[in-house]
Structure 1
Amino acid sequence: MQYVIPIITLIVGLVGGFFIGVYYLRKQMEKMQNDPQMLQKMAKQMGYNLNGRQMQKAQQMMKNQQFSGKKGPAQGQGRKKK
């Protein structure tokens, strides 16, 4: 019993941490949709410098993505079947 409880606690902590991380990431992405300066900052951190047109396109793509837990690619995106 002294080995079972720490293992169960570890597993529960890892699963809980994963879901909290996913929730936090989705909230940050939703904020980024409406804040072009935050999107520009993220692009610069990744080594990209977006101009106005690219910024608008990136925002539009993020709005179409919808971070509401919907699984699968957004409509009009993804691989096309042959």
Structure 2
Amino acid sequence: MNIALPIITLIVGLLGGFFIGVFYLRKQMTRMQNDPDMLQKVAKQMGYNLNGKQMQRAQQMLKNQNPPARGQAPANRAPKRKK
């Protein structure tokens, strides 16, 4: 019991931290998609200087990467063809 409890606590902590991190990252990506200043700031931190056209492309790419809300079909995908 003295060995199992710390191991279980470690595993639960790692899983909890992972899911909190994923939630936070998704929230930041959504904010970045809607806020061009934040996107520009991140690009500068990575060493890129985006002009207006590149900024629009980056925002569009972020928009296309986000999964659709539950119950909604993706708008940018064509229906599958039957063979």
- TM bucket, shorter chain: 0.7 to 0.9
Aligned residues: 72
Q: Tell me which stretches of 4 or more aligned residues in structure 1 moved more than 4 Å.
A: none
Unaligned residue ranges in structure 2 (runs of 5+):
70-75, 78-83
Identify which of structures 1 and 2 has the higher relative contact order when contacts are C-alpha pairs closer than 8 Å and 6+ apart: 1
Unaligned residue ranges in structure 1 (runs of 5+):
70-74, 77-82
TM-score between both structures, scaled by the size of structure 1: 0.81
Checking the alignment, whether the CA contact within 8 Å between 1:30 and 1:67 is kept in structure 2 is no
Residue 39 of structure 1, CA deviation = 0.1
Residue 20 of structure 1, CA deviation = 0.4
Residues 14-42 of structure 1, C-alpha deviations (whole Å, 9 max, x = no match): 01100100000000000000000000000
Larger Rg: 2
